[in-house]
Amino acid sequence: MINYLKGKIIYKDNKSLTLENQGIGFKIFCSEKVLETFKEGEEVEIHTFLYLKEDKMDLYGFLSRAELNLFRILKGVSGVGPKISLYLSSFGSIENLKSEIEKGDFYLKVKGIGEKRMQKILLELTGKIKEASKKKNNLSNEAIDALSSLGFSRKEAENLLKKVPKSFEKTEDKIKEALKLARR
């Protein structure tokens, strides 16, 4: 619903900030990392997630889309609420979070998470990492196969796809862009 806001920080405490946008002050809960990045009076852009529940409506803020996406993934883990997801998402990526968790006593640093819950989170994240990398490889293989069927060798197809900007996410868009690059 509210996916992004741009405005001036008019107030900040240790858990949230108030961002003014066109005369409206939005209270946005943020991780310590985000709060340390911003200063009162500063114009900022922040990615947001609107959390709705029967008795409350909260807005959570992130520095990047990657952190926002990690928050969404973590919210999908049973037993993990938005506040814990907010803290864990400040690691930026699933891989960073997973490596931090694997170091051992990570659960001691996070209020509200015991060792068993942290192991459960790690297990679910491992599944999500495998799922994401499998999806990525399938997209790449589909594009390589399509270019190969158009007469390119597998190696040529791979080299062309490496040159395609990452902004092209769909397989068909990658193929079209690769063909444009091949003509140059």
Domain 132-183 in this protein, CATH class: mainly alpha
Instruction: Name the stretches of the chain with pLDDT < 70.
Output: 104-112, 126-140
Q: Where are the domains of the chain?
A: 132-183
What is residue 51's predicted lDDT score, i.e. its pLDDT?
A: 92
Q: What is the pLDDT of residues 81-100, one digit of tens each?
A: 888 888 888 877 777 777 77
Where do we find the tokens 């060792």? 115
What is residue 87's predicted lDDT score, i.e. its pLDDT?
A: 84
What is residue 60's predicted lDDT score, i.e. its pLDDT?
A: 96
What is residue 105's predicted lDDT score, i.e. its pLDDT?
A: 62
Distance CA 10, CA 25 (A): 8
Q: Parallel, antiparallel, or unpaired for β 43-53 and 56-62?
A: antiparallel
What is residue 27's predicted lDDT score, i.e. its pLDDT?
A: 97
Q: Where are the alpha helices (DSSP H) in 62-153?
A: 65-75, 82-89, 94-102, 115-149
Token pair for residue 133? 């990398």
What is residue 22's predicted lDDT score, i.e. its pLDDT?
A: 94
Write down the pTM of the prediction. 0.64
